Structure 1
Amino acid sequence: MTRQVNLLRAGLLPGFGPVQLPSFIVGVVISLTVAAVWITSSVLTRQAFLAEELQWRATESSSLEQLNQFRQQYPEINNESQLTGVNLQLASQLQTARETYRGLANQVENAIEGFHTPLIQLAEHDLEGLWLDSIALKDGQRFFSLDGFVRNPELIPQYLKELGQSSFGGISIDQLTVAKSSDQANLWRFTLSNQRTVILQEQP
């Protein structure tokens, strides 16, 4: 007895039915997606490890270089106690340097604040026909010398009156010189100062 089998009949082979085949394809796609994600994660993790390894190697190389430089600079150090002594000495020197720089910074700041007010007031007291071309100040405005030009010498008393209403008020003028300018016509050269000799002697 002969039996005929239709090889083209749907559902004959396992996995090729109307439901089984799509499910199989979806399963394969999901598996490939998971595998791709795992591979990508592994590659990124490996790259991160390699970058960290390079960083540690660079740190090690820099540390060895610094250690060699330290040994060359301090060849007499052979143990921990000597190293501790050198560290204490360097820390003391650093503290001294910081205190020195801090003191210098305070002196500069005080000097700037001391000259700020008189310079501003000199700029505010401006007379037409009178101008300054040289200003020397010491200890704020306690010692000063002002040199300039004036078109009319009669403006000088007015300028002194205005200075008396500023922070220069109460400071006596020890020297007042007025002379005809030899270089420019119709101009007079004048100098106002108190203890001018002190300023000139202490200039470097």
Structure 2
Amino acid sequence: MQNINLYQRERRSGGGPRPGQMLLGAVLVIAVLAIHGAWQGWQLHTAGQAAMRAEQQAAQSETRLDVVKADFREPTLDPQLPLQLAEREAENRELQRLADHLKTLDAQRSSGFSALLQGLADRHPPQGLWLTKIRLQAGGDEMALLGLTQDQELLPLYLQSLGQSSAFSGRAFARFEIQRDDSDLLQFRLSSQAVTEQNDE
């Protein structure tokens, strides 16, 4: 009878990293740490340079500020300025009053002339009397009528006709002149102002 030995001694397979792998891993870790350290060192160096530049700029700004402060002179009020301002304001008020007065005169001239001219047109001189010149001034407050007539009795009739017009209501002629010319016509001049005026003829 033959005996068969079925038991065999098993060899255990080696577990864990091998020495070569461990060495390679250690080299990789050291390389990563070295790269990280270099990166951190570069960032610190860059941050240091930026901080240095910022400090230099701040120092330059403070230097410029000191120069500006040294050159700055606080303004002082001119004692004549209030007086000059008061004079200018008085001149402006005077100019404004003059402008308002001119506007009033212009309005009076525009409205007064049209009403008087319309009144003269409505009250046409009678036959034998005609006007040769009409002068209106001061917005119609001053008026002068110059003309010719064949009969001096026509003048009162014409004045009475003008007095019936609303444009001449309440107007009194302070000056009345009449004289005969070389053509045997009567030259007359009616004026609302007793002031001698030049170049009427």
Instruction: Give TM-score, length-normalised by structure 2.
Output: 0.42
Q: For the pair shown, which has the larger CA radius of gyration, 1 or 2?
A: 2
